[in-house]
């Protein structure tokens, strides 16, 4: 009987290892990192519910796989009263164990056409995060959605940019947690051959997110720092094959940590002055 129990325990352990890579960040870790980026610390001083709602929504939208997001979805719908989101994870669930990142981690505006958008990033998941942000920060009362490029954008530009920032904080943390250059399912730090790049995206979205801070010296220092890190990574990275070269991955990995430090140093100073954020937390 004892041998049978041990066999069962080993079987369960192996299944868990297959489903979740040992170096993957969990939801609590992602939430803690997001708090530090937005508030300079692990503490949210006011209106904790707003923060936990966006943290849970980002975790659900980005990392749900194997039907493990049922509790988070239920919390968003019942506790946080988020409207216009799915009633069941069946609408966007994706399997594939530790390969699930191929279906959600390639970029905020990536279409995943090569996978038939199996995880419904474009049609469902992204909307879960944006709808939560839009509702909890009352963007409809601050800035109307816009008619852009011949189509109606449901969410205003700043709402979308804030969603992108939250998304890329998650991606950077996944890079920091990765221990192997073979784990290249996540959008790279900079644009390579035919790829999106995290820093490129941050540079694109920052003027939209911090639109009241563009004349601020802190904002200019932040953008200069992003440019510096981007230039340094460009020197060692063109495509994922470069990460297999001796010493390159370690250096690349260190740049991911430096990028996260940059966000934690500057974002709290900038975002607290934006009306949507100030209204919610200060």
6 assigned to some structural domain: no
- How far from 162 is each of 22, 95, 137, 232, CA to CA, in Å? 29, 28, 11, 26
Q: Which range among 53-62, 110-119, 212-221 shows the weakest confidence by mean pLDDT?
A: 110-119
- Residue position matching structure tokens 């390579």: 192
Q: What is the predicted pLDDT for the residue at 20?
A: 39
- Mean of per-residue pLDDT scores for the chain: 86
Quote the percentage of the chain above a pLDDT of 90: 67
- The span from the CA of 122 to the CA of 119, in Å, is 9
12 assigned to some structural domain: no
Instruction: Provide the domain count of the chain.
Output: 1
273 assigned to some structural domain: yes
182 assigned to some structural domain: yes
pLDDT tops 90 at residue 140: no
Six token digits for residue 27: 């939801």
- How far from 205 is each of 3, 108, 211, 249, 255, CA to CA, in Å? 56, 11, 10, 27, 20
41 assigned to some structural domain: yes
Residues 6+ apart with CB under 8 A from 200: 190, 191, 230
pLDDT tops 70 at residue 55: yes
246 assigned to some structural domain: yes
Nearest C-alpha neighbor of 35 from the set 21, 11, 54, 57:
54
Helix ranges (DSSP H) in 79-216: 126-136, 157-177, 198-209
Mean predicted confidence (pLDDT) in 13-31 = 54
Which domain covers residue 98, as residue numbers?
A: 23-281
- Residue position matching structure tokens 């069962």: 8
- The span from the CA of 38 to the CA of 282, in Å, is 12
- The span from the CA of 64 to the CA of 88, in Å, is 12
17 assigned to some structural domain: no
CA 147 to chain CA centroid, Å, is: 26
Q: Each residue of 61-116: pLDDT tens digit?
A: 999 998 889 999 999 999 999 999 999 999 999 987 767 888 999 999 999 988 88
Six token digits for residue 4: 């049978």
Six token digits for residue 282: 């200060």
Mean predicted confidence (pLDDT) in 216-225 = 97
114 assigned to some structural domain: yes
| Coil vs helix vs strand at 221 | helix
Q: What is the predicted pLDDT for the residue at 15?
A: 40
pLDDT bin (cut points 50, 70, 90) of residue 185 is: confident
Residues 6+ apart with CB under 8 A from 146: 152, 153, 156, 157
pLDDT tops 70 at residue 117: yes
Quote the percentage of the chain above a pLDDT of 70: 82
- How far from 106 is each of 57, 72, 78, 99, 121, CA to CA, in Å? 18, 23, 30, 12, 10
Q: What is the predicted pLDDT for the residue at 264?
A: 97
> Are 278 and 272 spatial neighbours (Cβ–Cβ below 8 Å)?
yes
> Are 259 and 237 spatial neighbours (Cβ–Cβ below 8 Å)?
no
């Amino acid at each position: 009987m004892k041998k049978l129990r041990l066999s069962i325990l080993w079987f369960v352990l192996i299944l868990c290892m297959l489903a979740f890579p040992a170096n993957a960040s969990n939801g609590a870790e992602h939430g803690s990192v997001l708090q530090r980026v937005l508030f300079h610390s692990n503490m949210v001083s006011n209106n904790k519910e707003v923060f936990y709602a966006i943290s849970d929504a980002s975790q659900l939208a980005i990392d749900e796989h194997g039907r493990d997001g049922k509790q988070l979805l239920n919390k968003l719908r019942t506790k946080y009263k988020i409207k216009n989101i799915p009633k069941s994870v069946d609408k966007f669930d994706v399997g594939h164990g530790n390969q699930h990142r191929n279906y959600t981690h390639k970029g905020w505006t990536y279409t995943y056409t090569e996978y038939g958008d199996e995880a419904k990033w474009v049609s469902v998941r992204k909307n879960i995060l944006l709808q939560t942000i839009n509702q909890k920060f009352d963007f409809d009362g601050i800035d109307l959605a816009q008619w852009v490029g011949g189509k109606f954008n449901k969410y205003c530009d700043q709402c979308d940019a804030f969603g992108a920032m939250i998304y890329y904080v998650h991606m950077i943390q996944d890079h920091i947690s990765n221990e192997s250059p073979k784990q290249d399912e996540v959008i790279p730090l900079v644009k390579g051959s035919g790829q999106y790049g995290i820093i490129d995206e941050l540079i694109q979205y920052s003027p939209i997110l911090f639109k009241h801070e563009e004349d601020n010296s802190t904002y200019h220092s932040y953008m200069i720092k992003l440019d510096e890190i981007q230039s340094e990574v460009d020197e060692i990275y063109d495509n994922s094959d470069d990460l297999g070269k001796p010493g390159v991955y370690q250096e690349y990995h260190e740049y991911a940590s430096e990028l996260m430090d940059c966000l934690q140093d500057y974002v709290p100073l900038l975002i607290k002055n934006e009306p949507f954020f100030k209204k919610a937390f200060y």
